[in-house]
Every structure is written in C-alpha cells, then in structure tokens.
Structure 1
C-alpha cells in the first residue's frame, strides 16, 4: 500500500482540512420522510392485497366458506340492529318497511350463498304463514335453481369417484351430454346412455352429480345455521335452536347419494306391496354400480313435471278447468310426450293419487318423503296401460322415519280434527308439548277450527284494531304459548307439515281448482290406519272399528261442504268465477288469523 504525505503538513491537520473542504463543497444528504397520505395508501394496498389473496384462497381451497359465513353473520347483525333500533311502539307505522328490509336481506343472503342455504330458506318458507307478510312474499321467490358448473368440473368428479371419465374410450357411459338438463343448488343432472358389453349405446339414464363445493361448505354452513338459531333465540326470545340437530342430521343424509339410492329402493318396495298404489305410482330404479356418494345414476323418465301446470292440464285433458290466466297458449308438452293424447282421470286422478301416496307414507308406512316440491313429481302415460296416467316420484335424498307411537298419535290427531273430537286433539297436542291446540289444528288442516268456549273468550279480546307493533307482539306471544315444551315436540312435524299443507297437497289442489277434498282423503287414511295398528289388543281393535263408524258419519258434513263449494263454483263459473274449495278455506284462514290473532297472512305464502 502506498502512503502519500504533503511536505510540512501533519496528518491530523491534513484530515481536518479535507473534512472542511468536503463539507463546504458537498451538501449534506437528507432523507425525506414519506407523507401521511403515502403511508396510508401503502398500508391500504397491503391490506387489499392480503384480503384479495385470502379471498382467492378461500374460494379455491375452501369453496368460499369464510366469505359465505362472513356474509351470514353480517346480515344477521344488521337484522338484529335494525330490529333493536326500529321495532318500537313509537315507530309502529314503519314496521312494515322494517319487515320489508329484513325479508330482502334474508332473500339476498340465501340466494347469494346458495348450496344448503337454499334448503334452509325453503324450510323456513314452508312455514312462512307465521312470518310477517313482507317476509312471506320474499320467501315465495326463493327457488332451488343455480348455474351449472362446467363439464371439466364434472369430469374431475368422475375421475375422483370412478377413476374414469364420464365418456370416451375409457368412459363410464357410451354417451354423456356435457350440458346439464337441470341444475340446482346441490347437484345437477345430465342425460347419458349406458354402455353395453360390446361398447354400443344402451338405455338412457339420468346422472345426478354433486357440485364439489357443497361437501366443503356443508359443516361450516350447518355450524353457521346453528349459531344463527342461537342468536335468534337470544335476540327475539323465541325457541328456534331445538330444530337444529334434527335438520342438520337430515341435511347430511341428503348429500350422500348412495343413501338416496337406498331410500328410493325402499320406497319402491313399499309401493309395490301396497295394492292401492302399486299400479298408480312408480319409483325410478337406480344403478348401484354407477352410483357413489357424489354420483347417482337412475333410469330416465319422460314425463311432465307437476310444476308445469299448463302441460299437466293438457296431458290430462282438463284445459278448460284452468283459470283463464293459466290456460296454455299452444305450448308443447315437456319431455317426449307431444303426441300423447289426454289421459284418463283428469287432474282429479292426479290429486287423488298424490294425497293417497302421502297419506300412505305417513299413516301406513311410517316412511315419509321430505322434499316434496312439484318439480320432484312427474306425470307420464302408464307404460303398460295405454290411456292411463302414472305418477312418478323423484329425488329420494331426504326421508324421515316415523316411530309407531308418533304414527298413532298423528292419526288420532287427524281423526279428532275431522270428527271435531276436541278432547282427543287437546290430549295429543298436549303430549307433544304444544300449548295452543286451536292454532295447531288450524295450521294442520289449513282451515278454521272452533274450540268451543275458548273461541268465544278470544273473540271478545281481539276485536280492536291493532297497530303493526301490537300485532307483531301478539304474534310473538302466541308463538311462545304454542311451543311450551320443545323437548316433547316431535321434530318430524317440521317435514310432515310441509308435505301435507303447502308444498304438495294444499297448494297443488288449489292451483288445479280443488278437484278433490284433500281433508277428507287424509282423514280417511288416518282413520283406516288406526284399527290396523299391529300393537293393538283385540279389545282395542274392536273399539277402534266402532269409533271408525262414528267418524264416517261425522265426515259426511265435510262432503256436504265440499260439494256445496263445487256447486257454487259451477254457478259462478258461468259468470267468470274460478275459485274452489281450497280458495274458500284460505280466505277463512286469512280472515281468522287477522281478527283473532292480529296476524296478517299473505295469500302467496300458501303456495311457497
């Protein structure tokens, strides 16, 4: 290393002068501090990036579970806060607007989350008559339809379940249509053809494929459902959580398609052994070798869905029975039935068969289909009997098994209701922990039901005009008195009520002009089942047969009311009227709820 020193200069002096030189010629370095706006912008960018990455990870890895649950709790928090601030006597006139906002929030929540939330919403909507009218109207718009997932997703599901693609040289099927024929929140259905041993196309089948997100979302959704019911109990002081475990268990069963195949086979066995239904009802067969927990293969059915009412009327030759606004305008029949002529029996045959089928499930088999919306019922020409119709029941994922004791009680209840045996009604309802037998009776029959002296008492109390706030409080207190002991209440009533009242029997009977007396048919099914119960002694059986004779005599009054309704309909029909027996009962129920309980029922809720 070389060292250079200036002559006559000491090293320390040299370094000092150098420092002065540089300090005088070079300005000092200064670091500018970022502005507060820049700092906040940077932080916002980092946070946004983090949320974006979390959203993508949640969507791709967890099927948007975190996003959906966050939406659920936010919606529930907003509803609770809205009620806390605005449900007061001082704001009584704006309570209808409050219910409107709540109904819109719930509808948006269920529709946005999809999946099991649609099922939750439908379960609530099935009992929408107990909700404020603005909320009732919202639930009538909740349908179980959803965009279909791409074929690539379906192909991956087949690879995971079978180790093979749906079609192709190594495929499961000889043909598989990539576009689904129907898509709901949980699964979608594709049309396919089985592959024969020689590789040629065989018979047509319906392949139901579960959407991959549903399995990932199930447990978080059920947990959120339970927490929401807990919060509902806390904020509104009404029992709600007692149904959570029962509903959750059955929702889990609905996602197991092998269980659905077993349910269908069991129902087919019940039908085949029932001489009154064996020829009128059909359950499609399934193919166990092409069925897993997430894929179900069943025979394809060409028929007309009950939800396609105009085509049903044409198929059954009852077009003139439709109200003018509902009559079809040349629309072809759905399925491959455009050439099918009018089938015998008309819509009366359909409704008679439908009520008979669900009556048999409840009172004789103790095995009840729990998702009975009109889209799950087809009507087709009987394959072996030209000109005869046949009812086809689909979608067997959700069933409830009734124990013999409940079957007996429910049969006694219906028999007591129709025979106006109020002592029996109060006894059964009391055993179920229900404290308002009159309200329960009216909800079960969907018609007014007088309970003697108690009715006169109530008439004197609820005659004054209620404010919206007072009506809501009265309804809440009525519901609290209704559910006295939720531990005793049979949870099966949740699904059975949906079957017999709104989704199938009452709603469809009303839409088709009330061709049958569904109250009488159900009552007879209940009464006929009681003497045949296997656990009865000879003395008990004899007593039941004796009591049955009295019951048939009393039932004559229901026939008189039914045929009087049809006579009035025939007379008014000449002047353009088209209301039937169910319409009259509905009007009476709406009026009774308003005058006695201050509860306004939106007529649309009867068709939810």
Structure 2
C-alpha cells in the first residue's frame, strides 16, 4: 500500500477515497457515505426529524417554564395574519355582497383568539370591545359574549403562590388562615377568589375569626403579561399600518399601563382604601354604598385579603327583584324597589367622575353586590368590588368633562365644540351621542358631517361603500390622537356599564338627569375663589341647564308611565323602559345619519 501511494504521488495521482488507510485505524470514511450517495427523501426525512425535535424541545420548555407565552404569541400573530389576508383579499368593491360574511369570519377569529389565550387577552378584548358600537355588527355580537370567566387552577398552583408570597401554606398548623376553602367561589382570567377564616383575635375562641375573601393571582399570568402586551402592541400596529389604516395604535401604551396595574394587588388594596375614604366623606353615599375593608398585613402583590360580604350580585336580576319584593321569595323585602339600588349607583359613579376625579372603570354587574344595610335591615346597600382598574383625572380634564356634560344637556354648541376641538376630536354631534348614549343634534338639521364623507344617500350605498365611509368618519372623529385624553376610553366604558345596569332592571331611574345634575353641581362648586362675574355666568348657565333638564325628566316619567300601562295591559313590549327607548332612537340615528349598524346590545358595555 505504501509503495502504491508513493508511485501515485510521483505520477500526480490520488488514491480513491475507499483505499485511504491509516496504520492501526479503521477506514471510517467507507462507513459514512457522502450526501451524494444518500437518497434525497432520507435527507429530507432526517432534517424534518431534527426540526420536529427542536420544535418539540422549544414547545416543552415554553409550556413547562414559560406558561405557553411563546405559543400564545404565535397563535396571535397567526390570527393577525389571517385577518390581514382576509381583508386585503376580500374587502373590495367587487365583493361588496360578501362583506358581511367577511366580518363574520373575522369576528370568529378574534373571539377564538381571545378565549383560547385567556388571561390578559380577555382584558384586552374587553378594552377593545369598550367601543364595540363602532365595530362591524358581527364583532359587536361576539364581544358582547366575551366574559371574564375561566376554569379554576389546581390547588397545587395556589399553594405555590402562598409559599412564594408568605413562605407558608394557606391553612393548617402555622398557615396564613385558620381555614381556607380549597374550592374557589369565583374564577376569572387573572385570579380566583377563595373563602377563608382568619385566626381568632384577642378574646375570640377557636372558629370565631372573621370570614374573608382571598384573591389569588394565577401563576401563569405574571409570566405571560409582557409577552401578551408585546403581542397586543404588534397586532395594533399591524391593524393601523397594514390591515385597516385606522388610528388605533395610540391607545396601546395607556391601556397596557392600566392592565399592568390590575396585576398588582397591593395597588388594588390601596385603590379600595382610597375609594372607601371618598365614600365615607360623602354624607349621602356613606349610607348607601360600602367598600369592603382590606387587610394590608395579609395582602401582597399576588394575594389580596378583604372582608367577606354576603349579598346578591347585580347580575342576578331575579335575585335582585326578589330582594326588593318585585318577585316573591323574600318575607321582608328591601324598601324602595330597584330605584333604591340604581339611584345610589348612578350617584356614586357620577361623584367619581365629576367630584373626586377618581373613577372605577369596571362596574359590570358582577362587581356590585346588594345587601341589607347592617344598621337598617330594610334598606338596600350597594357593595362595590374589584378595585384593580381606576383612572385618575387631572383637575383640568375634570372641569372640562363637567363643562362638556353641562353643555351637552343645555345644547350649548360653543362649549361642546370648544372642548372637543381642544381634545383633538371632530364631529361633536357624534361625540355627544356617544357620551349620553342618546341621539344629540347640537345644530338644527342633520348631524354635522364633512362633505367628503357623503357622496350619496346611505340607503343607496353598498356594503363596501358604507364600510369605507365609516372608516373616513372615524378618521374625521379622531383628528389628533396625540391630544385626545386617553381616559375617555375608560370613562365611556364606565358609563355604558352603568347604563346597562339601569336598563337590565327596567330603567328605574333617570340616569341622564342624575349624571347631569352631578356634573353641573361639580362645575359651580369647583371655583370657590372665582370672581363675581365668573360665578354669575356659571349660575346663569346653570339656570338654563335646569330648564332643559326639566324637559328630560318629563320625557323620563312619560316613558315610565307608558311602561307601567303596557305592563298592566300585558302588551308585548311591557319591559321596555327609558334606556330602551333611548337606545332605539340612537340606533335609528346612527343608521340614518352615520351608516352604523348597531346591535341591540351595542351600548351595554
């Protein structure tokens, strides 16, 4: 072999690969053929196997140690890509008749995304759905069923949170509580609530400790938060820049900051204590509204302990009606009927907006409990829960908000136009109708519109033309998003929920009257050091405002009388109240004036 190699080298030749040997070493090259000798299907199969192994490892690590955050983001980006593809391909004049089906498919994609991912996605979906009235009808319907509900997490995860936060178990010898119910009484997207009993205090026997509600954050939420908010940012950017060409990205930072705050239970406990102080300082609300006490020593960033309250949730309509004697089932019903429940509720949220500048932004009926007042068992008392989401209004905005409401109800075009222009918003009629949730025409004739938005009557437009006009209207409505007060997003959501609560109980109170009077009183009382000319001007406008409010009140009582007569005579629409009639008028105006197809639940928040 050596002689052969020397001869070949002298002749400038090379040995074949299969004949290359080294002393004492086996010829491994002959056992590992080159890629040229391996069939192509085997190479592809091997690469596919490597890829599958890598994906499996990443999936396993993401699932076990990262709460599936990466997988959730990929699902989000895939949904976003599908929506973009659907609109780019199918939102054309040639496919105008198919646009309703297009909206239906997109609504299904969004709904499946939010419900599959859960967690903060439910909160994000609710934040987007706060303005569902401006979305296509199928999306309105889907968002109306996007509830903040979720399965319970295993007890092992609850125990891990307690060990992390307190260094001990929730109950048992040395536990945080004397008794801790392992079965949660409620479970939402980011936390679940358990009933527990505190250890007995001085002078108390075993088993006499106070009952408390313990809110425990789900462990996966903390890991998913920044991933979810990052995906939310990307999606909104794509929707604005690529898919829809609509001004939506400007709200991302504001909403993200407030969603992060909902995950800090120490901040939530501070919010509850601050609200309780406001309520206690108000002579009327202190008797009709109650904020459960929190226990700071038993509260951390992921666990909050508060006083346990027994009562009927506002979402239980039949239970509320039985409680006040409108349905049989309670031997000693509470006095005042549903009016005694809704009146303090509207007064509470009006005081938050106009007097305190400190607004609870999630007053859905599941967060309100009605119970007999402890000191007056025949009087109803409202208990407000879930204080994770609040907005703080600046003094300047609070005064402008008061002035806007008074101007809306008094028909003062100059005031409304001045405030809306300052906020970088156009189409004051549209803003007024959105705020009051009733048709508003600040000038005679049809609602003010940019001539470019209307090329022919809405009745003659096809689906594509109406959608294009709606997009143009939204752009004309949000002229300068940098100047728009972002708190409006949550204030409008707050008011829609209050309206929905009033509507669900048959509209027992004149919500617009109560809210309007609160705004006007706050405006006249907010400048104690103003000069005489300013005070005279404010009270003059207040007198005009009172006369307008009288006409609204007459309309309310007319609706109540008609409602009573219909119920007495057994007519089909016996349950239709003042809020229902306002919504019906609003839908008609939106359809004829703005081309908006609003569903029956578009204003329920």
What is the TM-score of this pair, normalised by structure 1? 0.89
Contact conserved, 2:412 with 2:442, CA < 8 A, in 1?
Answer: no
Tell me if 1:383 matches 2:387: no
How far off its partner does 1:517 sit? 0.9
1-structure distance, mates of 2:325, 2:154 = 40
Tell me if 1:423 matches 2:404: no
How far off its partner does 1:385 sit? 0.7
How far off its partner does 1:386 sit? 1.7
Aligned counterpart for 1:369 among listed residues 339, 360, 365: 360
Residue in 2 that maps onto 1:170: 174
Which range moved further: 166-175 or 218-227? 218-227
Tell me if 1:224 matches 2:228: no
Residue in 2 that maps onto 1:592: 589
SS in 2 for 1:387: strand
Aligned counterpart for 1:568 among listed residues 529, 550, 562: 562
The 1:37–1:182 alpha-carbon spacing in structure 2 relative to 1, beyond 3 Å, is: same
Residue in 1 that maps onto 2:206: 200
SS in 2 for 1:149: coil
Contact conserved, 2:429 with 2:447, CA < 8 A, in 1?
Answer: no
Residue in 1 that maps onto 2:151: 147
Residue in 1 that maps onto 2:552: 558
Residue in 2 that maps onto 1:112: 116
Residue in 2 that maps onto 1:518: 511
The 1:463–1:89 alpha-carbon spacing in structure 2 relative to 1, beyond 3 Å, is: closer
Residue in 1 that maps onto 2:220: 213
Cα deviation 1:104-139 (Å, max 9, x = unaligned): 000011111111110010111121100000111111
Contact conserved, 2:73 with 2:228, CA < 8 A, in 1?
Answer: yes
How far off its partner does 1:572 sit? 2.6
Tell me if 1:499 matches 2:494: yes
1-structure distance, mates of 2:371, 2:186 = 19
SS in 1 for 2:107: helix
The 1:195–1:340 alpha-carbon spacing in structure 2 relative to 1, beyond 3 Å, is: farther
1-structure distance, mates of 2:565, 2:165 = 61
Residue in 1 that maps onto 2:140: 136
Which range moved further: 60-69 or 34-43? 34-43
Contact conserved, 2:429 with 2:448, CA < 8 A, in 1?
Answer: no
Residue in 2 that maps onto 1:547: 541
Tell me if 1:280 matches 2:288: yes
Which range moved further: 589-598 or 521-530? 589-598
How far off its partner does 1:465 sit? 2.4
Cα deviation 1:468-515 (Å, max 9, x = unaligned): 1111111100000000011111111011101112x2x21111121111
Aligned counterpart for 2:462 among listed residues 464, 467, 479: 467
Residue in 2 that maps onto 1:479: 474
How far off its partner does 1:597 sit? 1.5
Residue in 2 that maps onto 1:314: 322
SS in 2 for 1:537: coil
Contact conserved, 2:458 with 2:595, CA < 8 A, in 1?
Answer: no
Contact conserved, 1:462 with 1:597, CA < 8 A, in 2?
Answer: no
SS in 1 for 2:300: coil
1-structure distance, mates of 2:218, 2:401 = 37
* Unmatched segments (≥5 aa) in structure 1: 1-28, 320-329, 333-338
Contact conserved, 2:120 with 2:190, CA < 8 A, in 1?
Answer: yes
How far off its partner does 1:35 sit? 4.7
How far off its partner does 1:547 sit? 2.1
1-structure distance, mates of 2:32, 2:305 = 71
Residue in 2 that maps onto 1:259: 267
How far off its partner does 1:460 sit? 10
How far off its partner does 1:341 sit? 2.9
Number of equivalent positions? 561
Which range moved further: 389-398 or 46-55? 46-55
How far off its partner does 1:542 sit? 3.4
The 1:596–1:397 alpha-carbon spacing in structure 2 relative to 1, beyond 3 Å, is: same
What is the TM-score of this pair, normalised by structure 2? 0.89
How far off its partner does 1:519 sit? 0.7
SS in 1 for 2:338: helix
Aligned counterpart for 2:437 among listed residues 422, 438, 446: 446
Residue in 1 that maps onto 2:16: none
Residue in 1 that maps onto 2:338: 347
Contact conserved, 1:462 with 1:596, CA < 8 A, in 2?
Answer: no
* Unmatched segments (≥5 aa) in structure 2: 1-29
2-structure distance, mates of 1:50, 1:410 = 56
Contact conserved, 2:447 with 2:593, CA < 8 A, in 1?
Answer: no
Tell me if 1:537 matches 2:530: yes
SS in 2 for 1:371: coil
Which range moved further: 77-86 or 417-426? 417-426
1-structure distance, mates of 2:84, 2:51 = 29
Which range moved further: 260-269 or 237-246? 237-246
Cα deviation 1:282-334 (Å, max 9, x = unaligned): 00001111100000000100011111111111111123xxxxxxxxxx8x8xx
Which range moved further: 263-272 or 547-556? 547-556
Aligned counterpart for 1:190 among listed residues 191, 194, 197: 194
2-structure distance, mates of 1:446, 1:396 = 25
Tell me if 1:358 matches 2:349: yes
